[in-house]
Each structure stands twice: as structure tokens, then as C-alpha cells.
Amino acid sequence: MSSASSDHSLYLRAAEDLRSNERQWQAYQSTGHCVLLAGPGSGKTKTLTIKLARMLNEDVDEPRGIACITYNNECARELENRLEALGIAPGGRVFIGTVHSFSLTQILLPYAKVAGLGLPDSFTVANRQQARAALAAAHANVIGGPENPQNWEMRLGRHRRRFLNRELPEWQTLDPQLTAFVEAYEAELRAAGLIDFDDMPLLAVRALAENRWLRTAMVAKYPILAVDEYQDLGRALHRMVMGLCFSAGMRLFAVGDVDQSIYGFTGATPELLRRLSERDDVETLRLGLNYRCGSRIVSASEYVLGEERGYEAPHDAHEGTVYFHPCTGGYAEQARYLIEELIPEIRERRPDINLGEIAALYPAAFLGNELANAAAEHGYSVIRTDGNALYPRGSKLMRWLEQCAMWCCGGWRSGAPRLSRVVSEGARLFHEAITDEDERLAFQRDLTAALWDRRDETVDLHDWLTALHDDIIRSRVSLTRSLDDEYVTLNNFLTRIGPAGDVDDFPLAEFAGIGSGLDRINLSTLHSAKGREFDVVILFGAEEGRLPRNYATENDLREARRLFYVGFTRARHEIHLMYGQHNPSRFVTEVQDRLEGE
């Protein structure tokens, strides 16, 4: 992104909205390292984007820029959209992306060879099939036996992420067999010229730690580092922050919430944010107002969390309501109750509500199958964001294709999205295949022609995607080292919506709106719902053994409580808790007892 043509008045006007909230305004005014502890609905994304716009315009001189690391690609897209609304158009001065994307594109691809990482000159990112093959070969060499090698995958990942410094004696002594397995697995990858997903931040941390010149180069390019959802990003990102910001001189603006840390299985460690916020050389601010949830939902959310945080709703907030639904029968019967009775009740009570403002959230993806089946039986359309969705919401390639579809379904008239944005996002996606201005112009010309000829929202999605696949994507993916899995996702989706697939009648218009609030019920796991908000939330399957699941440690139980809290605080007006009448979650019982005792 670039501020060269940005309208300063846009972010300055937006900043005036922060003045009425003392902590938001303090964050906006901060000049040194700053940590913003921001609870649900506290306006943290608004504060972050306006702050980014200010820093880019006032604190960083061209051609230097800002790096902003986010938890996932959807968070990155949201920040990009908001910055664009502040007049900051796509360009080269702001990196916004995941820690894996930052590690790969800003450190490994440009500097791996000179940083002495020992990677093959033309390494690529392993797709899922290649990673599984390497895992199977390493398992045969180190473990042996008939056990499925995939059973070791999670342990392997935890062990790798735990030891950022493998020179420590514990790397060899804590679990020698697991260490040998890791080393054998990584050797299999390297022999094939590959790195995997976990390699990206681990190798980037090593490159930064071993090369002072690289830290200096990163600070020269990005004098400011912003981090969103800090609590979710793990030890590798924290080590980068310590080295770049507190040793090399990069300025830090970090946003997060320890209470919303729900990704322990991927290495998230909320204690790292807590430690960062307690540093003497960091200005730490806490946002205490929840602008999203009704006042009763805000007060009940502290019962959910089990700890007082002092969050309040604004004085003019709506009240909000908490409903309890003990149900008979199994999940199929409960799903029918949700569709046949609960949804009609909600629509009668809120006649203007769009189904896209209703979300059913659940702790495991198989529960979404029950809800999807019940919805289909009664003629309701749904949007799924779980492991059984038509394609993963985090796919950068699929999200870009949605943008292309939106342009073909009316965006070419309305400017939402602008063609320049669609082209620039595509160019970034295929950046390794577009290495000079001539190739960029050729990409712009080819994409514009392909989309212009297919401006028809009634066209069959399979035909539309196949044309873009053949004309635009296939040749460029072959030259891009990080899109193998994304390409597999696209081809699997094409198969499912094709003549021999299992999905019928999928027009382009539906694909274009798959991520927006159309008249379809949202079905999502609790993990995938983080960062989103809805008028009405139905927490389905809130039962003991599901939420929490059988937990091994007190840390597991605390994370399960935080997961419940995240789901609870997605709701603006109504939160409905559904569970088997004889097996409510302990969290549900606690909230109900506290509310009844008020």
C-alpha cells in the first residue's frame, strides 16, 4: 500500500471519532512502543487502522513503510479494506499479512541464501501431500511400526515450535526420539527442496538471530511493526518482536487480548502478551468499553470468563438478552429444534433481521453437518466456515477469486471492488511470476479482458472458474512457490461443483456473496468465528464433554473457557445457549446461576 496519493483528511476526520474514548485517543497519540489490550467489541480494529494511517503519513518517510502482522488472511483483508477507506490504496509501503507470509516473503525468499540457512536455491513450500510423504518417510526411519504417521503430526509441530534455539541441551535431552523424528522429517523436506508451514517463522527467527545485517535491513525497510491479535501468534513472532523492536530499534504497536487466546494447539501462548504489556519501556492501554454487545450480554460475559475485567457497555447501549435452551434428544433433534422453532421465533421477534445476521456456532465441525442437514430440509441456505466448508476461508487464492466474482457481478458498475484493487491483489498473490513492469502490465491486461468478458452473475460458476483457471491462474501458479496448497484447494472445489461433483446449481452470484451477509444462516466453529460479529448468536452443543472437552491440564480448561467467552461475545443483541437438558456445560450452568442470582 502507498500513501503517496492518500487523502490525509480522511484519517484525520476518522481520528476525531476516537477522541471521545480516552484510551483509544491515547493509543492514537502514542509515540513509542505501545500495547493496546482490547476486549471484544472495543473498537480495536478501528483504532489500529486509524493509527496505521497516521503513522504511515506522519511518522514514516517514503520509501520506508510499516509491517503489520495479523493472525490470518481474513484479518489482513479486513485491515486492507479499512485502510483503503481511509484513502490508503494498495501499493508497496505497507506489508499486511500473517507471520508466515511475513517470514516467507520478507525474509526467506529474498534473503535465505545470503543468510546462510542452508536451503536449496529454489526451495518451494510443501503442499499437504508432500508434507505427509516426508512425515511418513521420517516415521519409517525413526519410529517404525504400523501406526499411522499422521498421529504424530501435532506432537511434531509442538516440539518444533517449542525450541526456537536448537543449540540448547534440552533439544537433544528432553525427548530424544521426538527430536530425531523432527530432524529426519526436515531432512526429507530439504532433500526434496521443500520447506513447510512451520518452517517459515522458525527459519525466519533463525535468520534474524544469526545476521545483524538482516535485522538492520528490516528496520530500514519497516521502522514500525504493528501486530494484531498478538496473543494468538506464538513464540516465533514474540522472538522476532524482541529482536527487531527491543534490540534493533523498530517501533512496536501491538494489539491483543489475553482473554481471547484460543489457539493453544497451534502454539499460541497468551503469557507472552501479558509479559510484553508489563515491560517498563512499553505504554500499555486497556480499552474498557464494549460497543458491540448489549449491556446484559457485556455483564454476563464476565460470568462466562470467570474473572472481572471491568468491561462496560456505552451508556446508550441496547440491553441485549441471554436465552437458555435445554433440549431433548440427540444433536439431530436439537438441530431440527433450532431450525424449526428457534429461527422462526427469532424472526418473529426481529422481523427485519436478515438471516446473514444469525450465526450458529459450535465446538466441532461435525455439529455443523447436523445443522446444515436440518437447514436443507427446511429450505434455508447456509454459509459454512468450518472444516467441512466447500473451501477454507483462509485461502488467499479463493478469497481473491471471490473478489473477481464480485467485480463481475456488479462491481464493474459500482466500483466495489475497484478493478485496480482486484488487479493489485492478484499481482501480489502471483508476485513471483510477475517480476517486472512488463509482466505486471500483461497480467493487468489478461485479467481485465478475462473478467470483462464474463460480467454475468447468472453464469455457471464452474464454467467461470475454469476459464480463469486456464487463462490466468495455471501458468502463474507454476511459477509461484507458495501456492501449491491453494491450487489444490481450487482444483478440489472445481471438482465438487463440476458435472460429476456433489454440489449442484452454483451460480457466480452466490460465490461472489459467499463471504457477505446474504440471506443465509452462518454456520461456524467457535474458533472460526473469532473476530466476527452477528446480531444473534446461537451457541449449539454447549455441553459438558464438548465445551469443555475432556481436558488434560488446567491450561486446557482455561482455554476452553476463553473459547466459550469468544463465542458468547460475538452477539450484538441475542445470545442463545443450546445443550442437552441433562448435560449442560459447566460454563452454561455458572452463567445461568449468576444471572438468576442478580
Closest-CA residue to 88 (of 137, 50, 34): 50
Closest-CA residue to 404 (of 351, 443, 442, 375): 443
**Residue 99 and residue 233: Cα distance in Å, rounded?**
7
Grid coordinates representing 474? 495455471
Is 313 annotated as ligand-binding? no
Is 42 annotated as ligand-binding? yes
Residue 215 three-state SS: helix
Structure letter (DSSP) for residue 2: B
**Residue 70 and residue 89: Cα distance in Å, rounded?**
19
**Residue 187 and residue 397: Cα distance in Å, rounded?**
29
**Residues pairing with 252 in the sheet:** 225
**Residue 124 and residue 58: Cα distance in Å, rounded?**
38
**Residues pairing with 465 in the sheet:** none
Is 478 annotated as ligand-binding? no
**Longest alpha-carbon distance in the chain:** 70
Structure letter (DSSP) for residue 104: I
Is 500 annotated as ligand-binding? no
**Residues pairing with 2 in the sheet:** 89
Pairing mode of beta strands 124-125, 194-195? parallel
Is 44 annotated as ligand-binding? yes
**Residue 23 and residue 310: Cα distance in Å, rounded?**
14
Is 41 annotated as ligand-binding? yes
According to DSSP H, which parts of 143-198 are helical?
153-162, 170-173, 176-191
Residue 362 three-state SS: strand
**Residue 261 and residue 258: Cα distance in Å, rounded?**
6
Is residue 45 a contact partner of residue 68, using CB atoms and an 8 Å limit? no
Give one DSSP letter per residue of 390-409, joined into a string. Answer: SS-TT-HHHHHHHHHHHIII
**Residue 67 and residue 166: Cα distance in Å, rounded?**
28
> Cis peptide leading into 63, omega within 30 of 0?
yes
Is 545 annotated as ligand-binding? no
Is residue 254 a contact partner of residue 37, using CB atoms and an 8 Å limit? no
Closest-CA residue to 539 (of 327, 354, 393): 327
**Residue 158 and residue 455: Cα distance in Å, rounded?**
47
Handedness of CA 271, 274, 280, 283 (dihedral sign): positive
Q: Which amino acid is at 459?
A: V
Q: Scanning the structure block, which residue is given the C-alpha cell 534455539?
A: 165
Closest-CA residue to 482 (of 161, 211, 98, 148): 98
Is residue 94 a contact partner of residue 65, using CB atoms and an 8 Å limit? yes
Is 39 annotated as ligand-binding? yes
What does each C-alpha distance from 518 to 3, 340, 525, 587 come to in angstroms? 33, 20, 19, 32
Grid coordinates representing 597? 442470582
**Residue 287 and residue 312: Cα distance in Å, rounded?**
10
Is residue 45 a contact partner of residue 78, using CB atoms and an 8 Å limit? yes
Summarize the annotated binding site for ATP as residue ranges: 38-45
Summarize the annotated binding site as residue ranges: 38-45
